[in-house]
Structure 1
Amino acid sequence: MPIILGIDGGGTSTVAVLSDETGQVLAKVVGGSSNPTAISRLQFESELAKIISKLKEQNENAFEKVECCFAGLSGVKELSFEKIAKSVIQQFYDDTVSIIIENDACIALFSGTLGMPGIVQIAGTGAITYCLDSHNNSYRAGGWGYLFDDEGSGYDLGREALKAVVKSYDHRGTETVLTEKVLNHFQIDSVTKIVDCIYNDEHPRAIIAPLSRYVIEAAEEGDYVAQVILSRAAQQYILAIEACASQARWDVRKELPTVLAGGVFTNFNLFYDVLMKQPMNFQLQFLQPKLIPVGGAIIGGLKQLNEEVTTEFIQNFAEQMKMKY
């Protein structure tokens, strides 16, 4: 019975899990950031080693039986940290253990396609599109940062909400329920006080990105301005998805599995409807993730070992991650 070590490493936290092919969660550790673009190399190595050590302490018997480690780590590709990450993990295992280092977008994809080729559109605080084709070639679009990219991200939607509110106040734009929602969010009674809320010591992304949920709420309520904002975001998603799809090589020309991952897509049905109204050059099959991203890492490990991803695995892993932890 093979045991997989799966790691989901991000800028805020890192989740590491030991699981077998039936989805039994044998150990789980949550640690700090493991994104090398946000921390030093020394901190990166230290955090990764600390997380793996805690897994070993939690269930040494299962830890010693690991056959594959599959890690999806944000920032490792940008800084070419794959070898560094692999060397940290290799301190705990001999050469018989397969160690695969990918970016976090890969495991987000696998959490929806269950290890099959496809595309993932990620929209959280930032936004990026990732594609893995039938020949194991990967492509990406977007993700260049909030200052001049990340269209369709939580930050982007929040910024558009603020623009809509101030334009409405100035009579440069249409009235919108976003005004009331944003004022309530900041607990202020006038649009003129918004500037003080935004321009303070806190990073603007942390202040603006949470406003994206009000765009989604307002769109659900039928607010025209919010619906236009979501429609524009959907145009950018399709543009990025098709930019990746057009470079890829697909064995079968059919609907391309396209996973919508990240906090922005909490209301999957709303975004599905908005996306399906956009003109497309490809047939896209929009999917919700079936597991959290670390589940995609376990699936990546199962795939590496040529193990089948069963319905039993999906059900057990999802239930255990929800109930036990």
Structure 2
Amino acid sequence: MLFLGVDAGGSTTVAALADEKGQVLALASAGCGNFQGPGMEAARREVKRSIDLVLNQAEVSAERVTAAYFGMAGADRPRDFELVRELLAPIVPPGARWGYENDALLGLWAGTRTGVGVAVICGTGTNVVGMNAQGTKVQVGGMGPLFGDQAGGSYIGAQALARSQRAAEGRGEPTMLHQMLCEHFKVSDLLDLVDWLYEGRELKPAQLAPLVVEAAAQGDAVAWEILFEVGEELAVSALAAIRRLFEPEEQVEVVAMGSVFQKAKYPLMYNAFAQRLLDSEFRTAVQLLQVEPVVGAILAAAAQGGLKVSEEFARRVEESIKEYLPEE
């Protein structure tokens, strides 16, 4: 039995192949697999390329794949799921059982082994997706600040810019972020960035999130407040999903993932997030995802193929995939 797992994200698509013992046989990557960015054909091409690469690396034919599972960025609304099915149907290995979900569910599978619980993403953007044992799914957020999202790297960066300018004008508390941002953009005044906008240049606020983490670690009150507020907001979103899926007496596994969560060298945001959940009326077990999301795709593919996903199988996948990952 061979299981194909694919994590199709907004920047890269990662595919992995494993056998029934959990031994990873190959790992490959391609470009953006989110149809909302480059479009259906371009996304399909990159997802197919990742599949072709991983099968070639393992030296097996597509016909040998037992089951496949795809975590797809951009699969948020019912209409999105229809489009994703259209995208995937022509390129799924022939004869394989297959399934797909929002890419957040991969982290939930990787963190819980069962796919039951709540996944909270804080990367460039934010998203919360939960699933209970009955298969009911709930999504909270994920549509951007215009529709209520107040978390994610882009939001954190935008808050840093706004609060730094308010501080410079005497409308807010002083912050070292102002100087840090001026140095980052190589300007003497943040309002010089208005010219950038007129010229059509991107500010890329998500890239500013590490500066906020750095300033908070140095004791900057404004940076600290931004991260604390975002941590609390992520917990509010997680609890909104939990209330719709679980009873207060149930143990709920919550998996935090995404670059802002996982790469932060100062844990303030995660700690605020976890503490708010632990103080709630629900019994939550909170963890920071420690493995690649594509591990979850393999586990979900194995379940799709009828294999009972044991702890031993999951550990084997986690350990054997390290052979293919770049050294940090």
Q: TM above 0.5, one fold?
A: yes
Of the structure 1 ranges 17-26 and 63-72, higher mean CA displacement relative to structure 2 is found in 17-26
- Specify the code of the residue in structure 1 equivalent to 2:15: A
2:253 maps to amino acid: P
- The CA deviation at 1:324 is 8.3
Specify which of 224, 228, 232 is matched with residue 227 of structure 1.
224
CA contact (8 A) 2:216 2:223 kept: yes
Query: Is 1:133 aligned with 2:132?
Result: yes
Deviation of the 1:154 alpha carbon: 0.5
Could you tell which deviates more after superposition, 230-239 or 266-275?
266-275
CA distance 1:181–1:23, change in 2 (3 Å): farther
2:233 aligned partner: 236
1:317 counterpart residue number: 320
CA gap 1:47/1:158 in 2 versus in 1, 3 angstroms? same
TM-score by length of 1: 0.88
The answer to whether the Cα contact below 8 Å between 1:238 and 1:280 also exists between their aligned partners in 2 is no
- 1:282 matched residue in structure 2: 282
Once the two structures are aligned, what percentage of the paired residues are identical? 27
Give the match's secondary structure for 1:89.
Answer: coil
Seen in structure 2, the aligned counterparts of structure 1 residues 198 and 22 have a Cα distance that, compared at 3 Å, is: farther
Say whether 1:83 aligns with 2:85: yes
Partner of 2:190: 191
Q: Mind listing any 5+ residue stretches in structure 1 that lack a counterpart?
A: none
- Per the alignment, do residues 176 and 77 of structure 1 end up closer, same or farther by CA in structure 2, a change over 3 Å counting? closer
* C-alpha spacing 1:153/1:71, structure 2 compared with 1 (3 Å): same
Q: Which amino acid aligns with 1:60?
A: E
Deviation at 1:314, TM superposition (A): 4.6
- Tell me which amino acid in the other structure corresponds to 1:275: F
Match of 1:264 in 2: 260
Q: Provide, for residues 260-305 of structure 1, a one-character-per-residue CA deviation record: whole Å limited to 9, x for no partner.
A: 1111112373333222443533233221113111111011122332
Q: Which residue of 1 aligns with 2:249?
A: 253
Stretches of structure 2 that go unaligned for 5 or more consecutive residues are: none
Pair 1:241–1:217, CA change in 2 (3 A): same
Mapping 1:43-122, distance limit 5 Å:
43-61=42-60, 63-78=62-77, 79=80, 80-90=82-92, 92-94=93-95, 97-122=96-121
Alignment root-mean-square deviation, CA:
2.4
Contact 1:24–1:317 (8 Å) recurs in 2: yes
Distance 1:271 1:23, change over 3 A: farther
> Once structures 1 and 2 are overlaid, which stretch shifts more, 163-172 or 13-22?
13-22
User: Could you tell me whether the CA contact under 8 Å between 1:55 and 1:63 is conserved in 2?
Assistant: no
Structure 1 residue 134, shift from structure 2 partner: 1.6
Residues 248/42 of structure 1: CA separation in 2 closer, same or farther (3 Å cut): same
Aligned length: 318
**What secondary structure is seen at the aligned counterpart in 1 of 2:60?**
helix
8 A contact 2:235–2:274 mirrored in 1: no
Contact map agreement 1:120 1:129 (CA 8 A) in 2: yes
- Pair 1:65–1:239, CA change in 2 (3 A): same
